[in-house]
Structures are given as C-alpha cells and as structure tokens.
Structure 1
Amino acid sequence: MEIKSQIKAIVWKVVKEVNDNVAVDEDIIILESMKMEIPVTSEISGTIKSIEVNEGDEIDEGQVVAIVE
C-alpha cells in the first residue's frame, strides 16, 4: 500500500526504516509545515518495503512517502 503525504511540507524526520514492522496509525515519517510537526502514519499493519523520501526533502500533497505491505 502506498502511504501518501496529506500536505505540502518538508520531511523533518524519517522514523522507520525499510524492513521495519509497523502497526495501524504508527508514525513512519514526520513532516514540518509552518513550524508544526505532522505525522504520516501507516494505514495498515505490515512491513515497510521502501521509503521514498529523505529528511529535508520538500514534498507535495499526495506524494508517495513509503510503501507498506
């Protein structure tokens, strides 16, 4: 499943790594926008297959940030 950004923001922190297990609503990435931290969470339980962004990247709303299977 593709995990997408809800907003245009900067990737502040990548919390999980490839092959990490995640649960529903567990943080994968933390975004920063207008001095606020916004978590991007997993919609399913599974394993992270890829992280599509790096810390410091500017990303758009709807951009894929991770893949969880």
Structure 2
Amino acid sequence: MTEIKASMAGSVWKIEISEGAKVEADQDIVILESMKMEIPIPSEDSGIVKELKVAEGDFVNQGDIIAVIE
C-alpha cells in the first residue's frame, strides 16, 4: 500500500483519477494550485486507487495524504 502525499500546501484544483481506477507509476493523481501555479502530484507506484482522501476545492498542507494506492 502506498500513500500519496502533497508535496506542498495548496488547493486541490483538479482530481485526475477516481477510486477503483488503475494507475501507473508517475501518472498524475491530482493537480494542486498554489501561488497561481499548477503542481501535478503523481502516483509513486502502479496499482489500484483504494481511497481518495480529498475533493476538488479542498486545501491540503505539505505531507497530507491525498490518496491510497494498493
């Protein structure tokens, strides 16, 4: 099981995948918006998205868990 964490604080601008979806390593999970910049957060491993812990518009801090990949 892999926890995908926010690399910096920002708002969840767009969610690129859904729970139950298959993802590949380096595939974008969400796009964060911080200081007018879009920051993609990729999956570290291939697998199935077990749980999304955020919704579009949520604010996350650096290190917050965004998704769980199994």
TM range (shorter): over 0.9
Return structure 1 stretches of 4+ with deviation > 4 angstroms: none
Aligned equivalents of 1:41 and 1:50: distance in 2?
A: 15
Q: Which stretches in structure 2 are left out of the alignment for 5+ residues?
A: none
Aligned equivalents of 1:36 and 1:51: distance in 2?
A: 22
- Counterpart of 1:17 in structure 2 is 18
RMSD of aligned C-alpha atoms? 0.4
- In structure 1, what residue type is equivalent to 2:14? K
Aligned equivalents of 1:46 and 1:18: distance in 2?
A: 11
Matched pairs, number: 69
Aligned equivalents of 1:68 and 1:59: distance in 2?
A: 18
Aligned equivalents of 1:63 and 1:49: distance in 2?
A: 16
- In structure 2, what residue type is equivalent to 1:45? S
| Aligned positions of 1:41-60 closer than 5 A | 41-60=42-61
- SS of the residue corresponding to residue 30 of structure 1 reads strand
Identity of aligned residues (%): 46
- In structure 1, what residue type is equivalent to 2:46? S
Q: TM-score, normalised by structure 2?
A: 0.97
Post-superposition shift, 1:27? 0.4
Q: TM-score, normalised by structure 1?
A: 0.98
